[in-house]
Amino acid sequence: MAMNFDLRSSEYVTNPVIRYIGYGVIAMMLSVIHVVFLRFLEVSSVTPDLLLIFTVWIALVEGQFTGMIAGFLCGLLFDFVSTDVIGTNALAKTMAGFIAGYFHRPGFIKETIGSARFMMIVAVSGFVHNLIYNFFFLRPMQVSFLMFFAQYGVASTLYSTVAAIFPMLYVARKKE
Amino acid sequence: MRGFIEFVVRFKNYITLITLVVMSLSLMSIGNLSKLGGFRAVIVGSIGWIQSVFAWIPNPVALKAENTALRELNLQLAVEAARSRQATLENSTLRSMLRLPALTDYRLITADVIGKTTTQQRNYATINKGQADGIGEGMSVISDAGLVGIVIGASEHYAILQLLINRDTRVSAKVQRTRVDGIIQWEGENTLVLKNVPRTLDVQDGDRILTSNYSPRYPANIVIGIVRQSTDEPNTLFRRIVVEPAVNFSTLEQVFVVDAKVDQERVGLERVVDERLTNRTAP
């Protein structure tokens, strides 16, 4: 994943077609990993949202516009591989990409991702993402939105924020 | 036109956001299109296949949770089974107790045993009925199995029973088959002894022992137990007859107090005659 932000002079980064294909492949891999393997990391039915972290990553590297589109496509991909209503994750991740895009600072990408700032951005984007997702997820049910969000939405946001420490540490190490 | 393009370029992020939001909401409403559904079915099927390929990998957290749930279920079922067994036994006991009043002419007062000692030389039991329920001293106590003992003390709401397995208990008894009389006594452990039965009289293992008509304290024909061993006592003219009590005192829970007090007239007459005979034979 280092190709997404690192070595701006390299051919990988400067060639947007290859870069975007790389994003697509990574998104597909993360979707499958999320659905197949994340059950091993499940804590009280809560798992970290890898595609959300990836959306935030793209938004910070590429900017708000690309971040939104990446969020939409990642969400759509996840809607297809999971049993969610199609469009729910797409909408939530679009908003996450939109919010994360506000923190995009060209020329300071490594500084942003390789610091605690990245975790903070994941937390903010994740909170909005889960707020929207839970709203549409619970819409057909007779369940209290606030109770459910407080239990699962906040927990999922925290878990995703904690999981964001791994890409953050990876970039921080590369930075040194 | 240029103005429009400039507007789009300037606000492209917001326009894109609105477009994507509208697209997402549209997808939510048309998510059940057949073509989309078929495509999705293929993807979900493929994911399911991948999941099945890796299904052999154990998930310790899920296994632990499943184990805990199964243990709880097992515990609940064990409790349920114990309750069921208890209910079956209680049902059987109560059914046989229900039949008992029809077999006797006396009025029976039902009571629960709320305390007892069965491991001492003098064994007693406490029941939850007393004088307020018509229970008085001297009344005999039975269960669906047979003779339990006699009331030796009663308060307003409780009564104390002297059990058959008590050193002080003496019961006038008879062998049901041959009408041979004797005295039932307890000499410890779990069996009774039928005394004062001459060697020449017919008593066999398996004979049923009942209360005799001669006793002023106990109603006649109440089952006491079954003869388990009958041997000649050395150096005497009597037999030693071991009787297994019909009542299991260690599991005794419900009893009937027989509403029939000691016949004072009969006891008085017998005492007077006994004293007269004693005086006549005295030197």
What one-character-per-residue DSSP string does B30-50 give?
HTT-HHHHHHHHHHHHHHHHH
Burial of residue B54 (number of CB atoms within 10 Å: 0-12, 13-18, 19+): exposed
pLDDT at A12: 45
The b-or-e profile of B136-168 (16+ CB within 10 A means b, else e) is eeebbbbbbbbbbbbbeebeeebbbbbbbbbee
**HSE on the CB side for A78, CA within 13 Å?**
29
Q: In angstroms, rounded to a whole number, what is the distance separating the alpha carbons of residues B85 and A7?
A: 76
Give the number of beta-carbon pairs within 8 Å between A and B.
78
- Closest approach of A127 to chain B, Cα-based (Å): 18
Least confident range from A148-162, B7-21, B49-63: namely: B49-63
- The one-letter amino acid code at A136 reads F
pLDDT at A127: 93
User: Residue A65: which of B16, B28, B50 has the nearest Cβ?
Assistant: B16
- Does B214 score more than 70 pLDDT? yes
Interface probe for A, chosen from B15, B22, B27 (most Cβ of A below 10 Å), is B27
Scanning B32-51 for CB atoms below 8 A from A yields 36, 39-40, 43-44, 47, 50-51
Scanning A137-176 for CB atoms below 8 A from B yields none
Give B17's contacts in chain A (Cβ within 8 Å). 68, 94-95, 98
Q: How high does pLDDT run on average in chain B?
A: 82
Q: What angle do CA B122, B124, B128 make, to 5 degrees?
A: 170
pLDDT at B226: 93
Whether B204 and B213 have beta carbons less than 8 Å apart is answered as: no
Q: In angstroms, rounded to a whole number, what is the distance separating the alpha carbons of residues B132 and B154?
A: 10
pLDDT at B36: 57
Q: In angstroms, rounded to a whole number, what is the distance separating the alpha carbons of residues B211 and B219?
A: 7
Mean pLDDT of the A76-84 span: 81
Interface probe for B, chosen from A69, A80, A95 (most Cβ of B below 10 Å), is A80
Instruction: Go through the domains of chain A in sequence order and give each one's CATH number.
Output: 2-175 (1.10.1760)
B256: left (phi over 0), alpha (psi -120 to 50) or beta: beta
> Do the chains contact at B17 and A37, CB–CB below 8 Å?
no
Q: Give the total residue count for chain A.
A: 176
pLDDT in tens, B17-68: 999 999 998 888 875 554 555 676 677 677 777 777 777 777 777 677 778 8
- Does A4 score more than 70 pLDDT? no
Chain B residue with minimum CA distance to A45:
B62
Q: What are A23's two structure tokens?
A: 């994003």
Residue B63 CA, chain-centre distance (Å), reads: 38
Model confidence at A19, in pLDDT bands (50, 70, 90)?
A: confident
> Do the chains contact at A68 and B16, CB–CB below 8 Å?
yes
pLDDT at B168: 81
Whether B133 and B114 have beta carbons less than 8 Å apart is answered as: no
Judged by a CB distance cut-off of 8 A, whether residue A85 touches chain B is: yes
| Percent of chain B scoring above 90 in pLDDT | 14
In this structure, which long-range contacts are made by residues B155-158, counting pairs with CB atoms below 8 Å and at least 24 apart in sequence? B155/B130, B155/B131, B156/B130, B156/B131, B156/B132, B157/B128, B157/B129, B157/B130, B157/B132, B157/B133, B158/B114, B158/B126, B158/B127, B158/B128, B158/B129, B158/B130
Q: In angstroms, rounded to a whole number, what is the distance separating the alpha carbons of residues B212 and B217?
A: 10
Q: Provide ipTM, 2 decimals.
A: 0.83
- Does A166 score more than 80 pLDDT? yes
Chain A residue with minimum CA distance to B9:
A65
- Does B103 score more than 70 pLDDT? no
Q: Give the total residue count for chain B.
A: 283
- Does B169 score more than 80 pLDDT? yes
Indicate the SS3 state at residue A99.
helix
Q: Could you tell me which CATH number the domain at B108-258 has?
A: 2.40.10.340
- Closest approach of A131 to chain B, Cα-based (Å): 15
Phi, psi of B240 (to 5 degrees): -105, 115
Judged by a CB distance cut-off of 8 A, whether residue B103 touches chain A is: no
Q: List, in sequence order, every beta strand (DSSP E) within chain B.
A: 108-116, 122-127, 140-142, 147-154, 159-166, 171-175, 181-186, 192-195, 208-211, 223-232, 239-245, 254-258
pTM: 0.52
Whether B24 and A136 have beta carbons less than 8 Å apart is answered as: no
Model confidence at A10, in pLDDT bands (50, 70, 90)?
A: very low
Q: In angstroms, rounded to a whole number, what is the distance separating the alpha carbons of residues A133 and A90?
A: 9
Give A80's contacts in chain B (Cβ within 8 Å). 39-40, 43-44
Judged by a CB distance cut-off of 8 A, whether residue A102 touches chain B is: no
pLDDT at A100: 93
Give A101's contacts in chain B (Cβ within 8 Å). 13
- The one-letter amino acid code at A146 reads L
User: Residue B59: which of A40, A68, A86 has the nearest Cβ?
Assistant: A40
Model confidence at A65, in pLDDT bands (50, 70, 90)?
A: very high
pLDDT at B104: 64
Higher-scoring residue by pLDDT: A104, B99: A104
- Does B81 score more than 70 pLDDT? yes
